[in-house]
Amino acid sequence: MKKGRMVRSGVASLGRHKLRTFFMTLGTLIGVTALTVVVAYGRGTQDAVLDNVKRMFGGSSITLMAGGGGDRSGHRSGGSTTTLTLDDLDAIAAEVPEIEVFDPFLMLGGLDVVVGGESEAIVVEGHSENHEIVWNRGVSSGSYFGREDVERSARVAVVGERLVAEWFGGEDPIGEFVRIRNSPFEVIGVLDPRGIDPHGVDRDREIHVPITTAMRRLANIDYITTAKLSIDESADLDAVVLRIADVLRPRHSLGPREPNDFHMFTSVQVEKLVKSGSRVFTLFLPLIAGISIIVGGIVVANLMLMSVNDRRAEIGLRKAVGAKRRDISAQFLFESTVVTGLGGLLALGLGYVVLRAIGGVSSIARNMGDAEAEAAARVPLGLPWEVAAIGIGVAIAVGLLAGVAPARRAANLDPVETLR
């Protein structure tokens, strides 16, 4: 049988059985749509999280945290402590030359902040004048506080842009005052937008004050909880971690067998952790979507077997006039592949529409102030060519696999029996 005639015959057969063709296409359409949406959204989510992590922990850095009880490498095993101080950071910087700059960090969650007579619980963070360098986040207007503000525990504040929109109607807040725990703080700057961090916290609804102000005026403590250290790019991070531990252990009067009362993690460890956590998007969810593809393939195979039974006379007649087994087999493989390929193409279009719809709904909710929608809206939603190629490839593979059994059955039919 000539290839052109086989194609025309296959297309005509699919056209004659429109309902059967529709259900075969639908089975592939649902499965491939689920696969492409999950893979595209998962990849976008991973890229968004990694981008956020790189902005927060980018470059060569070490995050030092109070509490732990780990080994000399600083790895945590549990517990908490209040022994990490600003003097510790000065000592580390003096004895570990690979440290270029550091920023102590104290988070005070849910402090009462009063603006215009209305009170609201807001996250307040204490930082040093090095925050802009260490965390790669500056201000969009005004200025960040400086060394002098830190030294004198000044009551100045830098606020997130979402708070500016809520409290000041988007007007310039520089020079305005907010009350934090009944103490007036002058707004001197607006933080660059950052969005939702990997922990789901809206970084545009926070207030930064000098670290000493947070410790003495707001929390009344003499210790810190965290510090981020920027390290020379050429340095061995693991070796630096060990050197920092060697500085801190004697300062904290820890014996040879006592565990650390601090722990550390590096930017490399953070990135590995994020990639490991993203496996749910890159592996497990696609596997779940693959179940629907398998179901679609079973539907296609069963409907093709029904088609073989309904066309026994046609198959017998073609064999009687000279059609070979491979011709009959090729025609049924062609029909199943065309149907699933068409389903795959439609699935790409439907998947694109679904992704755009998700982005549209997320943007609307974001404008309404939904923090979770803020995170979803920042996920780059598109249909990369790799994902499209996977979708089409899977659809064609399903067609070929689903058509094998029907094609063999059709090819093995006895023309004498079928023409009786």
Largest CA distance in the chain: 103
For residue 375, what pLDDT is reported? 46
For residue 418, what pLDDT is reported? 58
Per residue in 20-41, pLDDT tens? 778 778 878 888 888 788 777 7
- 183: pLDDT strictly greater than 60: yes
Whole-angstrom Cα distance, residue 106 to residue 212?
10
Whole-angstrom Cα distance, residue 105 to residue 131?
9
Per residue in 227-259, pLDDT tens? 999 999 888 988 999 999 999 999 999 888 888
Whole-angstrom Cα distance, residue 85 to residue 372?
35
Residue 61 pairs in a beta bridge with 230
Residue-wise burial string across 388-401, b where 16 or more C-beta atoms lie within 10 A, e elsewhere: bebbbebbbebbbb
- 201: pLDDT strictly greater than 90: no
Tokens 């998947």: give the residue: 351
Residue-wise DSSP of 185-223: EEEEEEEPP--B-TTS-BTTSEEEEEHHHIIIIII--S-
- 420: pLDDT strictly greater than 70: no
| Percentage of the chain exceeding pLDDT 70 | 73
Whole-angstrom Cα distance, residue 89 to residue 82?
14
Contact predicate 224/64, CB 8 Å:
no
Residue-wise DSSP of 70-123: --TT----S---S---HHHHHHHHHH-TTEEEEEEEEEEEEEEEEETTEEEEEE
Whole-angstrom Cα distance, residue 343 to residue 34?
12
Residue 222 pLDDT grade (very low, low, confident, very high; cuts 50, 70, 90): very high
> Which tops the pLDDT comparison, 331 or 274?
331
Neighbouring C-beta atoms of residue 129, cutoff 10 Å? 17
pTM: 0.64
Residue 8 pLDDT grade (very low, low, confident, very high; cuts 50, 70, 90): low
> Which tops the pLDDT comparison, 50 or 130?
130
Mean pLDDT score, 355-370: 58
- 112: pLDDT strictly greater than 70: yes
Residue 392 pLDDT grade (very low, low, confident, very high; cuts 50, 70, 90): confident
Of 404, 415, 417, 419, the residue nearest 323 (C-alpha): 415
For residue 199, what pLDDT is reported? 63
- 75: pLDDT strictly greater than 70: no
Distances (CA, A) of 248 to 62, 73, 257, 310: 15, 11, 15, 82
Whole-angstrom Cα distance, residue 38 to residue 41?
5
For residue 373, what pLDDT is reported? 45
Contact predicate 316/401, CB 8 Å:
no
Mean pLDDT score, 302-327: 73
Would you call 2 exposed, middle or buried from its count of C-beta atoms within 10 A (0-12, 13-18, 19+)?
exposed
